[in-house]
Amino acid sequence: MSAVPPRRFPASFWWGAATAAHQIEGNNVGSDWWAREFAAGTDVKEPSGDAADSYHRFGEDIALLAQSGLRMYRFSFEWARIEPERGFISRAQLLHYRAMIDTCREHGVEPMVTLHHFTHPRWFARLGGWRSPLAPELFQRYVEAVLPILRDVTWVCTINEPNMVAMTRGEEGTDMAAASLPEPDLQISQALVLGHRRAREALSSLPDVKSGWTVAAQAFHAMPGCEEETRAYGYPREDFFLEQAAGDDWLGVQAYLRTFIGKDGPVPVAEAAEKTLTGWEYFPAALGIGVRRAWELSGHTPLFVTENGIATDDDARRIDYTHDALVGLHDAMADGIDVRGYLHWSWLDNYEWGSFAPTFGLVAWDRETFARTPRPSAAWLGSVARDGILTHPAR
Ligand code: BGC
C-alpha cells in the first residue's frame, strides 16, 4: 500500500495526445522536407513516404483517441498542402483540415491546431525560408487563409518549437542526440517572433481563439561551477523563446530530456545512463523542470504540456516514463502553476525526422497494411484521463 495520497488533476484538465502532419500523413510532396528526403545524396536515412497514411485515416485515428478516453487531439495543418504555390490556396485542402476539426467534434474531442510544425512549402524554402525578409508576412498570409476553417476552434499553436527551427535552420533531423545543439540563427529567431506576433494578430479576429506557441524545454543542468556557461548556452536556445510568450493566451511546454553543460558546452550522456531509442537519457523529471521554468520566464503565462513522451520498444517503460513525468507535473501544479492540459507525444508512431525506428506512439501501425494497434499505454493514459487520478498499473 502506497502512503502517497492520490494525485488528482482538475476536472477541467485536458488530456490528449499530439501528432504533426509530416510525421504521420504521408506523401507530403510539396514540402521542403519531402524534397530533402529524395534529393540526390541526401543525409536523410529513410524517407517519410506514406508515413502512417493518416491523411486518409484520420477518422480512425481520432475515433481511437476518443475510445481510449483522451479528450484532446493536437494535430497540425500542412502549409505545403494548403498553399502549394505562393498565393494559391487550395480549397480542397482547407476542406480536408476542416473535416479533421469536425471529426474531432463528432467524437467529443477538442482539437488543438498547430499551424507550423517544422515543414514549409518548397517555394517558401526557395525564397530562403525564415531567413527571407518576407517570411513573417508570408506566414501571416497563410494564417489569414486558414482563418475561415478555424472559426469555432479555441486552441491554436502558431509555431511548434521555434527554438528548434532557429537551431536547425529549418533542417530538423539534425541529430538531437548529439551532445551539442547548433548555435541558433538569431535572424531566424527574430523572424519567428515576428511571424508568431503577426499570426496572433490575425487570429485575434476570431473571438474564441486562444493562441500561443510551443517551446522545446531542454532541462539544461550546470556541471559544478558552470552556471554562467549554462546560462549563456541556454538563453538563446530556450529562455529567449519562453520570455517571448509573456502576454500570450498560453504557452506550450515540450519536454523529453536533460542536458548537462560543462566548461566547454554540453557533456555527452553518461555511458551508464539508461537511454531511449533516440539516444536521449531516460529522464522523466524533465517535464516538471520545463514547466517550472516556462512559468517563471513567461511571467506566469498559462501553460499546456503540448508534448512529452519517450521513444521505446518497451511499452511498460513508456508507462513508467509518462507516470513519473506526470508526478513532476502534478507537483508543479500543486505549487500553484497554472497548467491546462497534458498532450502526450505521440498518438501514433511517427516519422522521426529521418527514421521510423524511434517509436513514440501510444498506437502502433503496420508498415504494410497501416492497421492500427493501440498499445497498453494508450488504455492506461485514457483511464488516467477518465478518472482524473494518476495511477500506475504495476505500482
Ligand atoms: C517535435 C516532434 C518530434 C518530437 C520527438 C519535438 O521536438 O515537435 O516533431 O517528433 O519532439 O523528437
CATH number of the domain within which 337 lies: 3.20.20.80
Whether ligand 1 lies within 6 angstroms of the CB of 160 is answered as yes
Look at residue 8 and tell me if it is in a domain.
Answer: no
The pLDDT-based confidence of 395 (bands split at 50, 70, 90) is confident
Beta bridge partners of 74: 18, 112
Mean pLDDT over 157-185 rounds to 79
**Nearest one of 356, 259, 350 to 309, comparing CA atoms:** 350
Q: Which position has the grid cell 545543439? A: 181
Look at residue 65 and tell me if it is in a domain.
Answer: yes
Phi, psi of 364 (to 5 degrees): -95, 160
Q: What is 231-270 written as a DSSP string?
A: HHHHIIIIIHHHHTTTTSS-EEEEE---EEEETTEEEPPP
**Nearest one of 111, 87, 107 to 209, comparing CA atoms:** 111
CA of 351 to the centre of ligand 1 (A): 10
Residue 332 CB-density burial (10 A; 0-12 exposed, 13-18 middle, 19+ buried): buried
Measured CA to CA, the distance from residue 283 to residue 358 in angstroms comes to 16
Mean pLDDT over 145-174 rounds to 90
Beta bridge partners of 345: 18
Quote the pLDDT of residue 326.
98
Look at residue 3 and tell me if it is in a domain.
Answer: no
Look at residue 183 and tell me if it is in a domain.
Answer: yes
Identify the residue whose C-alpha is closest to ligand 1 atom 7. 216
Each residue's pLDDT tens digit, 259-302: 999 999 999 999 999 999 999 999 999 999 999 999 999 999 99
Q: Residue 2 carries which side chain, given as an amino acid letter?
A: S
CA of 109 to the centre of ligand 1 (A): 22
Quote the pLDDT of residue 355.
97
Range of the domain at 171: 14-390
Over pLDDT 70: what percentage of the chain? 96
8 Å CB contact between 286 and 258: yes
Measured CA to CA, the distance from residue 224 to residue 222 in angstroms comes to 6
Task: For residue 353, give the ligand 1 atom closest to its CA.
Answer: 10
Task: For residue 350, give the ligand 1 atom closest to its CA.
Answer: 10
Look at residue 78 and tell me if it is in a domain.
Answer: yes
Which DSSP letter does residue 223 get?
P
Measured CA to CA, the distance from residue 333 to residue 337 in angstroms comes to 5
Look at residue 395 and tell me if it is in a domain.
Answer: no
Q: Which three cell numbers stand for residue 34?
A: 519531402
Q: Are strands 259-262 and 265-267 parallel, antiparallel or unpaired?
A: antiparallel
Q: Residue 243 carries which side chain, given as an amino acid letter?
A: E
Count: domains in the chain: 1
Q: Give the Cβ contact number of residue 107 at 10 Å.
A: 16
Whether ligand 1 lies within 6 angstroms of the CB of 218 is answered as no
Each residue's pLDDT tens digit, 337-384: 999 999 999 999 999 999 999 999 999 999 999 999 999 999 999 999
Whether ligand 1 lies within 6 angstroms of the CB of 352 is answered as yes
Measured CA to CA, the distance from residue 139 to residue 95 in angstroms comes to 20
Task: Compute CA distances 87 → 31, 80, 132, 143, 158, whole Å.
Answer: 15, 12, 16, 12, 19
Quote the pLDDT of residue 3.
67
Whether ligand 1 lies within 6 angstroms of the CB of 349 is answered as no
Look at residue 81 and tell me if it is in a domain.
Answer: yes
Of the listed ranges 164-168, 188-192, 302-306, the least confidently predicted one is: 164-168
The pLDDT-based confidence of 5 (bands split at 50, 70, 90) is confident
Strand, coil or helix: 178: coil
CA of 216 to the centre of ligand 1 (A): 9
Q: Which three cell numbers stand for residue 227?
A: 552556471
Beta bridge partners of 14: 341
Residue to probe by mutation, ligand 1, list 307, 310, 351, most atoms within 8 Å of CB: 307
Task: For residue 360, give the ligand 1 atom closest to its CA.
Answer: 5
Whether ligand 1 lies within 6 angstroms of the CB of 75 is answered as no
CA of 244 to the centre of ligand 1 (A): 21
Look at residue 359 and tell me if it is in a domain.
Answer: yes
Mean pLDDT over 246-260 rounds to 98
Mean pLDDT over 111-116 rounds to 99
8 Å CB contact between 304 and 251: yes
Assess whether pLDDT exceeds 90 at residue 10.
yes
Beta strands in the chain (DSSP E): 7-8, 14-18, 72-76, 110-114, 155-160, 210-217, 220-222, 251-255, 259-262, 265-267, 303-308, 339-345, 363-365, 372-374, 389-390
How confident is the prediction for the chain on average, in pLDDT?
Answer: 96
Mean pLDDT over 224-237 rounds to 97
Task: For residue 20, give the ligand 1 atom closest to its CA.
Answer: 9
Whether ligand 1 lies within 6 angstroms of the CB of 216 is answered as yes
8 Å CB contact between 27 and 56: no
Task: Compute CA distances 305 → 165, 313, 354, 374, whole Å.
Answer: 19, 23, 25, 22
